[in-house]
Amino acid sequence: MAKVYVVTSGKGGVGKTTLTANLGTIIASKGDKVALVDADIGMKNLDVVMGLENRIIYTSMDVVNGKVDVFDALVRHKQLKNLSILPASQVATKEMISPDDMKQMISKMSEKFDYILIDCPAGIERGFRNAVAPADEAIVVTTPELPAITDADRVIGLLENLNFDDSKIHLIINRFKPHMVRHGDMLTVEDIKSALSIDIVGIVPDSEDVIIATNKGIPLALMDGKDRLGKILEDIVLRLKGEDLPIPTLEELEEKQSWWKNFRNIFRRD
Amino acid sequence: MSFFDFFKKKSVKASNDSARDSAKERLEMLVGNGRRFVYKIDDFTDKEDLAKKTEEIKEKIKQEASELFKTDADKVKIVVEEHNGYVIIITNINFE
Instruction: Name the residue in chain B with its Cα closest to that of A187.
Output: B20
Least confident of A75-89, A208-222, B7-21, B80-94: B7-21
Angle at A45 between CA A44 and CA A48, to 5 degrees: 130
Mutation target among B31, B35, B42 for the A interface, most CBs of A within 10 A: B31
Cα separations in angstroms, A21 against A221, A222, A231: 9, 11, 15
CB atoms within 10 A of CB A15: 20
| Residue that wins the pLDDT comparison between B49 and B6 | B49
Burial class (CB within 10 angstroms; exposed 0-12, middle 13-18, buried 19+) of B80: middle
Instruction: Name the residue in chain B with its Cα closest to that of A160.
Output: B38
The per-residue pLDDT for range A64-80, each reduced to its tens digit, is: 999 999 999 999 998 99
DSSP chain B: --TGGGGPPPP---SSS-HHHHHHHHHHHHH-SS----EE-TT---HHHHHHHHHHHHHHHHHHHHHHTT--GGGEEEEEEEETTEEEEEEEE---
Question: What is the nearest CA distance from B84 to chain A, expressed in angstroms?
Answer: 7
CB-based contact A270 B23, cutoff 8 Å: no
Contacts of A266 (CB under 8 A, 6+ apart): B7
Q: What is the mean pLDDT of residues A24-35?
A: 96
The per-residue pLDDT for range A175-226, each reduced to its tens digit, is: 999 999 999 999 999 999 989 989 999 999 998 888 888 888 888 888 877 7
From chain A, the residues in CB contact with B31 under 8 A are 149-150, 153, 195-196
Strand B86-93 versus strand B39-40 pairing type = antiparallel
Give yes or no for A196 touching B (CB within 8 A).
yes
The per-residue pLDDT for range B36-71, each reduced to its tens digit, is: 555 555 656 777 887 888 889 999 999 999 998 888
